[in-house]
Chains A and B, each alone.
Chain A
């Protein structure tokens, strides 16, 4: 990234800027701490770009409007926090079902219920995977710095457009509200992916059904295709079906379009892992402190490695299995009562022992908490 105009930017603003960079021109949302700055930023910036901002009556309406704008042809986004994310879940499932590309930002705060509105948490990690009812495969990314928030937001839009699916950005209160001096990429510097449009005549267009890439092209409204979208399990034309053979084809396709491309979707950052005896696995704001601690340990001659899940869902099984193959101990650090640790346990093979470092009191881990945990594992 060039050292252009350095400015003090809040994580939430970096999210808004990244989304606009990626081509987002429609935002619908409802105020909720600690995500509200994203809505305020969009309200200010989008009309300047000919885009549209609307404050909806609630989060259910917000995600509904976002999906409506998305299928009509826009890159669209909403941002919220735990309670709002819960309200959105039914319509997020609808977006999976009709394969509507859109981005949902969850700036996590403590829960359950109203919980800790102004305090950090990562307790919606599993909700991002299993929040809506039914079987489906979710994509979720998690930034850890202000700069990261910008680039991961661009990546979230690219994934949404590439795979015609909703993508969640799991931020947290610390990442969302911290301000850092950053400079953003110039236009053209980061790849921006736009959805594939059909080139066939409307009469032969199929919004669903078999396709080489598992992802069918998607026209904007008004382009003559008049396709039908429904939340009902549907056939290749989009019309509801309950024929077992057609149901399975549709559900498999929804899964395969993501699981077949995990190499492209899963992004993991690993440092000092070549000879690591202890690995620290983390994501979101926790990764900042984790990296500091790994460096401190290395300076003291202790072989600790760093693994950051930039893609949380689909869980980067393959990468983690390779990275942790020779590691004796893994410490999974997260701001909840233990969510991603279960996934790590599933990939840890052989003699690798998995340990959990948890905090759910509304604050982040201090370096000392990490060091104590490493000592506990070593002894």
Chain B
């Protein structure tokens, strides 16, 4: 047998790995599904979404992974995160170690106060949902809008299409506003963090 050690083998980096995390009931599994649908609308991309949750329908830790690749996806979960969304302090503490060096961290600063790094995007998804949109249920959708603005993983149009396709009747408008609000907030934050240089 050849003497190449497989422990030295570099696992190809043709994957973009996303984790949406928080507590049960925050709608993160649904958000991951919407994100996967929006990304997968581009036929050149493979996408796979998995979830991990406790036995309860509400409460407890909850996370959902979305893996994106231009090739086939085999191992279906995320290992080295390119993007971590943490909607609670507990989920941030738990999953921050999985974030790659240079990976993107997005947190809900309504519910997260202790940060392990200065390099993050903090937005008040829950507060915005409650105060501006009068509907705490759409915090997850606002976060998706912000992700679309902060990263290049999904476009605003594809995201809107995916969200509206799944929105229960009568909630289309609040969901549309949620995506757009998140997108605007994300864009502003990104601009603040990375001022244009010319």
Contacts and interface: CB of A to CB of B under 8 A. Distances in A.
A303 interface: yes
A155 interface: no
A302 B1 contact: yes
A291 interface: yes
Contacts of A302: 1-2, 4, 6
Contact of B47 (A181, A292, A366, A375): A181
A contact face: mostly helix, strand, loop, or mixed: mixed
A371 B36 contact: no
B143 interface: no
A368 B9 CA distance: 9
Q: What interface size band does chain A fall in?
A: 35 or more
Contacts of B54: 118
A120 to B, nearest CB: 10
Contacts of A300: 2, 4, 6, 9
A179 B9 contact: no
A371 B7 contact: yes
A277 B1 contact: yes
B16 to A, nearest CB: 15
Given A296-B11, A302-B1, A178 B75 contact: no
B162 to A, nearest CB: 9
B164 to A, nearest CB: 15
A6 interface: yes
Contacts of A118: 52-55
Contacts of A288: 74-76
A8 B76 contact: no
Contacts of A375: 5-7
B49 A366 contact: no
A364 B11 contact: no
A303 B53 CA distance: 38
Interface in A261-299: 277, 285, 288-289, 291-292, 296-297, 299
B101 interface: no
Nearest to B5: A375
B108 interface: no
Contact of A179 (B7, B36, B53, B79): B36
Contacts of B51: 177
Contact of A289 (B1, B4, B12, B74): B74
A174 B55 CA distance: 15
A8 B36 contact: yes
B122 interface: no
A368 B73 CA distance: 16
B55 A33 contact: yes
A178 B49 contact: yes
Interface string B33-58: 10011001001001111111111000
Contacts of A372: 6-7
A8 B47 contact: yes
14 contacts: A8-B37, A8-B40, A174-B77, A285-B76, A289-B74, A291-B74, A296-B9, A296-B11, A301-B2, A302-B1, A302-B4, A367-B11, A368-B11, A375-B6
Please name the 8 residue pairs, one residue from A and one from B, whose CB atoms are nearest each other, closest first: A292-B74, A181-B40, A179-B49, A371-B6, A289-B75, A117-B55, A8-B37, A288-B74
